Amino acid sequence: MVFNSLEFLIFFPIVLLLYFFVVPKKYNWVMLLAASYYFYLTWKWQLIYLIVFTTVVSFVSGIVISRAQKKSTKKFFLVLTLTVCLGILFFYKYFNFLSTSVTGVINAFGGNAKDFTLDLILPVGISFYTFQTLSYVIDVYRGTTPVETHFGYYALYVSFFPQLVAGPIERPENLLPQLKTEHKLDAGNAAEGLRKMILGYFKKVVVADLFATYVVSVYSDVQNANGFTVLVATVLFAVQIYCDFSGYTDIAIGCAEIMGIKLMQNFNRPYTAKSIKEFWGRWHISLSSWFKDYIYIPLGGNRVSRFRNCLNIMIVFLVSGLWHGAAWTFVVWGVLHGLYQVIGKFTFRPRNKMWEKIGISPDGKLVGAIRTFNTFMLAAFAWIFFRANSFADLKVLLTKLFTDWSFSPSFFIDSLTSMGLDLVAILTCIISVVILSMLDKTRLASDERRAKPDFRYAYLVWAIAFAWILLLAGDGASSFIYFQF
């Protein structure tokens, strides 16, 4: 069941009806837990035992850690939880990747290793709910969050259906208390939640799914691509993946908000960032903050030597690349973002001095615009590694991007025609996303709940109408990109 499916459009109103009007408040957790497990069962019911087992192990470990007197006992159960949860994640997500890599190395050096991959199905959302359980156990071990002794509430924290399969990756101190609180139907929460859901559907169904067709035309047929089509497809993919993932997040946050539950912000206009470091403070915030709190800071963060700090950054982004996918293309993507940050750290002051020498303020609007453009292009270039289907395709894409160009008008026209681009539709979508982003920024900056209501809600009526027309007229609900992680 995906958010942009008819099944969900039936499922969610039933959940709301039960939540607010049918089930007694003190048993709402039972209903939400059942609904969340049903939501997960619709994906692959045979794998439900994985999330249940992970939940049980982390719940029991949390209780033992909170009650143990000896530090060695606490550490043992922390390590046990990390081993079990990460072990399950590794087996299902990385076993075949590791086996093929080892086989490839052995054969490259003249060996004769046979294939020993397994027929494994990646459990949907496993990377997300694994990190959520780990944050709980680590925080209990650190003493920064109280232990949860009610298994039902904890199981709901792990499996809460709006953010179960693609985040945001919630922290126990934010979500658990809200799950225990009685929530009444509130007109303000309902209106704001519905607004976010509408924006999410617009981003996904109208923008991301449209752009996906153009991106696929290049990335699935790399031999017939040229430098210009690779460039256009890559920029469109940058927009596609943002609208796809932030669209899911908007719907998830909106669903929860209608029920009175506030999930953390996961995106904050990332393509307006002026550096890659700032980009990661705005993109997939729940994941980047997780890596910061549980890997970067424990490694020493920036409280160490410059070399060690750069090493810490590279380790975090290497792990980030692996988290996103079991392929070397994702590893390189992560390493590339780490290099961006290290290089940016070393060149920040020289770049500022360069602008000052030519009489331009490094904090001015001109430099800010240049830095925003450069950051977007660096992020977009890295997306090539993320989107490429294989290293063989990646080699072709990069070669064509830097060599296969002609600067005649017919070259550009023929390239766009070969992709089947509808420029009017593309420009309308991009302008719409920019306007929606600006409206959201205006709303957040306003002290009142509704800023410029006439313009906003008239625009949203147009957006939702467009979304539903395409949804009902399409070939079926398409999955979200981050479901594969």
Catalytic residue annotation: 324
Number of helices and strands (H, E) in the chain?
A: 19, 0
- Only one residue has tokens 């039933």, namely 14
Sole residue written with tokens 């399969």: 165
Strand, helix or coil at 183? coil
d(CA 256, CA 15): 11
Asked if 286 and 168 touch (Cβ cutoff 8 Å), the reply is: yes
**DSSP string spanning 60-103?**
HHHHHHHH-SSHHHHHHHHHHHHHHHHHHHHHHHHHHHHHHHHH
For 285, residues 6+ apart whose C-beta sits below 8 A from its C-beta are: 168, 264, 265, 266, 267, 268
- The alpha carbon of residue 98 and the mean position of all alpha carbons in its chain are separated, in whole angstroms, by 24
Among the listed residues 132, 171, 177, 151, the one whose alpha carbon sits nearest the alpha carbon of residue 63: 151
One-letter identity of residue 241: I
Tokens of 196: 């976010």
Greatest pairwise CA separation for the chain in angstroms: 76
Can you read off the two tokens belonging to residue 441?
């920024």
Q: CA dihedral in degrees (140, 145, 146, 150; nearest 10)?
A: -80
